[in-house]
Chains A and B, each alone.
Chain A
């Protein structure tokens, strides 16, 4: 009861420090908590709505027709009473009365969708409406894009379909790539008539199944045990996070990492306030001990206070995160499933407890324990408590590191990203601290006795409290680094796509060209003066052995890391082979034999270097492929680097002509930009004469990817701006306490004859310059980190956002200097020398 009264009195009467502390903690945890709410909601949505999004309880898919035997096995694996629906998906050209365009086609059977909702106009429908006549349901963005209306026709391959409705709700729609390839639903029975299905056509054959409730948890396993061909993918709703919702999931990963930096920045402030709080508590604690409180009582009192503050802080952070999550829904709208609903789960509470009270206890509880055991009179006179033992230091560092690794891994779900991120963060802090210390060392060495009084006092202040100077520089630099890095990265990624490459990009990219269509196609190009940029054969194969060992399908079906997921995908998806006489302009050999020196017998193969890295292949490895039932062996002769942004046909694996020339293949063409014909006009020509050939307008593709990056980027930009705000808040808070604790110094200087404006100049010079120095360091580091990431991670040229850099630099300096002036003036007014400071 006594403790409760003491706690209540101190919370009320010293409320400003507790409010500041709560606000810091709230701001620190907020960013990460918002991301976590989205993560948990996405998982929950998948759990509840996953079947609707997948349109099934279990589905199988392959990039080839499924055989009767496979369909029979699938049926056998399903419980009695299950229903199935067949769908073929592909990208293909469609033509309206006006023009041609790439469409995302879904040929569905009569029972589609078995699970979920497909609403056309105002009515929920099934595929049977598409079965009686050649009609199409189209995405709403198709109508204005192609200047057509309901009732108009679409020519797809050899068949003409009438637009009979507009898709208003489609529970299977997850991430839309916009107008690049609008979705079109068609009846499956009309697929053969279109003539789109020829040899080598790129498509996805899917069979969806609805099973009686409850769904067995091992349904996926039992289907996989029957269908052992790695080319067949089995999907259940829980796989969607790594499937069609991968983009959103990855975005949340990256936002989570930004949230972690914000959390680190915020925790600098929270830890600083915690130490100040403990200093404030020392003398009262000592008195309480004098009055008869035992060390254990005092520990209890302080730990209860600490815990209350931490819990109030994270609760406020959680409430704010909930409000924030609702507020940013429009930002992610296009990437969210139709029935996505925000929920607060136990996981959110657990993460909040981990990043709030968990972290707080780890960082501050030992301080509390140590301080409470200091003798009463030492506490009263605020003598420094006994120094911390190296074991405790080690324990603390290990604890914080483990917590950081755990939190980062929870966000990134990749050990590589976890270690790179933490390494980069720690490296940045080390560089900033080292530069700050170096600057202080220079100040010490170059401090001339004939310095003006102002700089003499300022440098004395820095040198007397180097820890505070370094802390202020670090906070300012970290918030500058984070808020400037993201605009640089966004510009680098979008810039690489939009900037003119070294060689001119083609205008159209075409695939699914049959062997027998090559010559007529070339004739069409010649007739219309269309220049071919590149022409490459395309052979589908499976890698079956590496150095004589089976290249097994990964048995992992749920992935705990991004690397496992990537590895499994890589192993299961087959390989595309090609052959050419010499390397294209976007390729260069980086290791091994020159491409021209590669032999045909024995066969040698060139592998793209990052692909080789992922498959763990090296020069000299013997690979065995299954090329349409024929085994072909080749030895890795060299590793190749490819500029994928060239949009030329590039391949991970490439041979010389003479090894697989006879294998069944299709062709990929790229066309140079035409002086008179637009890509759309050429697409119309192609769609008319070669309806099965798919062509992509490269400018459209670049725009679609840029839009996508823009959407992802805007989330990251918001997160970085919040970090900037939090960083400045922490900077100002530290500054405020610094000014307060130096009050006696200022009064002393005033007594020595300094005017108010002299003291203000002194404070501006001392702390304003630290803020500017920190912001400069942060700006410099953001350029360095962007350059490093561009060169080593994205393998591209960095593009710096100079406008953002200047804006953020000026904003950081202005805000911190304005806050400093405001704090100083407030302090002058509150001192007993008010009248004299009034001259300001």
Chain B
């Protein structure tokens, strides 16, 4: 999947203050490429991911997925697109508390109409080293385990684009490195297009291309 952003702009209003977060931001991400976005806190990295996943609209500009302008999509169209084509890894992993690790991972498949989703989910969790933790709830897992479940959930339905927001930001160094190995192992194996927001030089170093978000624009 080709992702093309042109002239993307986003402004936030906080009382009398207006914050111009993104200004005429452009990006061209070819299929199979893994890009990192780095930048200072508050530079708009997470906002960019939110816009790309359709969580919030841009003020202006175009988001082109395989030449289709997604900026004009309805909320429901975005939801369906996310369900089929996007995987999202949050910094705080955000698992659904009343589902087990296996059910959390199987959920995207089920949402896409796959009936017998559990074996595939179990297999992926096994690859990620969680074969013994399939039936545990999120409050019974460690931070690193939760993040691995979140990665599995983001990848299970083979999305065309993986978006990850500080995927190891809440983990200690050792666990973070393990999770990162697994994440990149899967991305490379699946030839996944991915955009990863990070502060970490190590994460950025593993990506094909690194962009810096500054003054509302991406600089390579």
Contacts and interface: CB of A to CB of B under 8 A. Distances in A.
Listed residue (A1, A10, A13, A376) with the most chain B CB atoms within 10 angstroms of its CB: A376
Query: What 7 A-B pairs have minimum CB-CB distances, sorted nearest first?
Result: A292-B83, A13-B98, A294-B79, A10-B98, A292-B82, A2-B110, A294-B76
A283 to B, nearest CB: 7
Interface of A: 1-2, 5-6, 9-10, 12-14, 283-284, 287-297, 375-377, 380
Contacts of A10: 98
16 contacts: A2-B110, A5-B103, A14-B98, A289-B79, A290-B82, A291-B88, A291-B153, A292-B80, A292-B81, A292-B108, A293-B83, A294-B75, A294-B76, A375-B56, A377-B55, A380-B94
Nearest to B56: A375
Given A1-B110, A5-B110, A9-B103, 18 more contacts: A2-B107, A2-B110, A13-B97, A13-B137, A14-B98, A287-B95, A290-B88, A292-B81, A292-B84, A292-B86, A292-B108, A293-B79, A293-B111, A294-B79, A294-B80, A295-B75, A375-B55, A377-B56
Interface residues of B, number: 30
Interface string B89-114: 01000111111000100011011100
B111 A292 contact: yes
A9 B82 CA distance: 23
Interface string B9-27: 0000000000000000000
A296 B50 CA distance: 20
Interface string B66-85: 00000000011001111110
Contact of A283 (B56, B94, B103, B110): B94
B83 A291 contact: yes
Given A1-B110, A13-B137, A377-B50, A287 B79 contact: no
Contacts of B90: 380
B111 A291 contact: yes
A416 B106 CA distance: 60
Contacts of B53: 290
Contacts of B55: 290, 375-377
Listed residue (A283, A294, A295) with the most chain B CB atoms within 10 angstroms of its CB: A294
A254 to B, nearest CB: 45
Nearest to B85: A292
A290 B107 CA distance: 12
A380 B108 CA distance: 17
Contacts of A292: 79-84, 86, 108, 111-112
Listed residue (A6, A9, A287, A288) with the most chain B CB atoms within 10 angstroms of its CB: A287
Nearest to A280: B97
A386 to B, nearest CB: 14
Contacts of A293: 79, 83, 111
Nearest to A292: B83
Contacts of A6: 99
Interface in B126-162: 137, 153
A13 B100 CA distance: 10
A292 B83 CA distance: 4
Contact of B99 (A1, A9, A375, A376): A9
A10 B112 CA distance: 20
Contacts of B56: 375, 377
A693 B56 CA distance: 92
Given A294-B79, A377-B55, A288 B108 contact: no
Contacts of B86: 292
Contacts of A9: 98-99, 103
Contact of B97 (A1, A284, A289, A375): A284
Contacts of B107: 2, 291
A291 B82 contact: yes
A18 to B, nearest CB: 11
A148 B41 CA distance: 102
A436 B180 CA distance: 55
A341 B75 CA distance: 57
Contacts of B110: 1-2, 5
Contacts of B82: 290-292
A287 B94 contact: yes
A12 to B, nearest CB: 8
A6 B88 CA distance: 20
A764 B134 CA distance: 42
Contacts of A291: 82-83, 88, 107-108, 111, 153
Nearest to B86: A292
A213 B107 CA distance: 66
Listed residue (B79, B86, B153) with the most chain A CB atoms within 10 angstroms of its CB: B79
A47 B81 CA distance: 62
A485 to B, nearest CB: 43
Contact of B96 (A284, A295, A375, A376): A284
Contact of A2 (B76, B79, B111): B111
A284 B95 CA distance: 8
Contacts of B88: 290-291
A391 to B, nearest CB: 23
Nearest to A377: B55
Contacts of B94: 283, 287, 290, 380
A1 B116 CA distance: 12
Contacts of A5: 103, 110
